Structure 1
Amino acid sequence: MNLRLAVSSAILMLNVAAVSVLAHHSVQAEFDLEKPVTVTGKVTKVEWINPHSYLYLDVNDDRGNAKHWSFEMAGPGALRRAGLSRADRGGLKAGDTITVNGILAKDGSDFGLVKNIKLPDGRVFTIWTDDPNGR
């Protein structure tokens, strides 16, 4: 009887953990797939960190006022596989004026998920392919 309880408890805990992991990696949990956004701005910072990298831009609004935007991206390994490299390797760097296509956060803030990035030299890098599971 104790073995049955232990096995049942273990299965329950694994299921709870699996749901938590899937929720964390669900694009739909944080971003609104129905709200695409395109902004052009100056890169102020890039954080090449796991599990998600972050891109920060200053984007001028209609009145010329700078708004600070943040975008979530894939981790460094996935960015490299997409062809995007760090500044010290000839890629994305602070000071670049770039165009980002993405989707907005559900909370309406100036935050989004990067779909693709266009660098000043015209190269375009696809980071996210519209898979609602984040792939």
Structure 2
Amino acid sequence: MNTKNLIVAGAIGAALAVAAAGGAALAHHAFAAEFDGKSPVLLRGKVTRVEWINPHAWVHIAAVGPGGATTAWMVEGGTPNTLLRSGIDRNSLKPGTEIIVRGYQSKDKLCRPACKANGRDVTFPDGKKLFMGSSGTGAPTDGADPTEKK
């Protein structure tokens, strides 16, 4: 391979690396990009599954509404590491666990395939309340995050 080919190959590699990094950066979003700080939700229901993935864990619940109807919700939390540090783990969010989640609904109100929300805190059957959001994302300052500046 001559010098010109090496330069071209290096440029292509660099371009691919930048494109890959850009895609990852877009996957992690600010609160305001997807959620509505003026649409608080209070969800009561049973955990159906949990996705322990980065950059945000997702807690799926079957929330029971005022009339008794059940609606599927996907609740975004912080990273799995953030949840673990706040005391939330695989044992505390097992399928069937009844929880209460306080958070904010997504800007897309169509609820397809499920309604989406950003979770600020979760309350367990024993009354324990833990922060489940991700700090510094632009979510409303509501006192749920113990690290928020007052």
1:112 aligns with 2:117: yes
Following the alignment from structure 1 to structure 2, what is the Cα–Cα distance between the partners of residues 130 and 48?
18
Instruction: Determine the structure 2 residue equivalent to 1:69.
Output: 73
What secondary structure sits across from 2:95 in the alignment?
coil
Contact kept? 1:25, 1:133, Cα under 8 Å: no
Residue 126 of structure 2 corresponds to 121
Q: Distance in 1 between matches of 2:138 and 2:35?
A: 11
Computed over aligned residues only, the root mean square deviation of the Cα atoms, in angstroms, reads 2.8
Aligned partners of 2:124 and 2:32: how far apart in 1?
27
Counterpart residue number, 2:64: 60
Give the length in aligned residue pairs. 123
1:129 CA drift (Å): 6.6
2:106 alignment partner AA:
A
- Which contiguous aligned blocks of 4+ residues in structure 1 show a shift greater than 6 angstroms? none
Q: Are the structure 2 counterparts of residues 118 and 112 from structure 1 closer, same or farther at C-alpha, using a change threshold of 3 Å?
A: same
Aligned AA (1:115): R
Q: Quote the sequence identity (%).
A: 36
Structure 1 alignment gaps of length 5 or more = 1-9
Judged with a 3 Å threshold, the aligned counterparts in structure 2 of structure 1 residues 23 and 57 are, in CA distance, closer, same or farther, namely closer
Give the TM-score, by structure 1 length: 0.75
What is the rounded CA distance, in whole Å, between the counterparts of 1:102 and 1:64 in structure 2?
Answer: 20
- Structure 2: where are the runs of 5+ without partners? 1-13, 140-150
1:39 maps to which of 22, 38, 43? 43
| Matched residue SS, 1:21 | helix
Give the Cα–Cα distance (whole angstroms) in 1 for the partners of residues 138 and 99 of structure 2.
Answer: 26
Q: TM-score, normalised by structure 2?
A: 0.68
Q: 1:114 aligns to what SS in structure 2?
A: strand
Q: Structure 2 counterpart of 1:125, which letter?
A: L
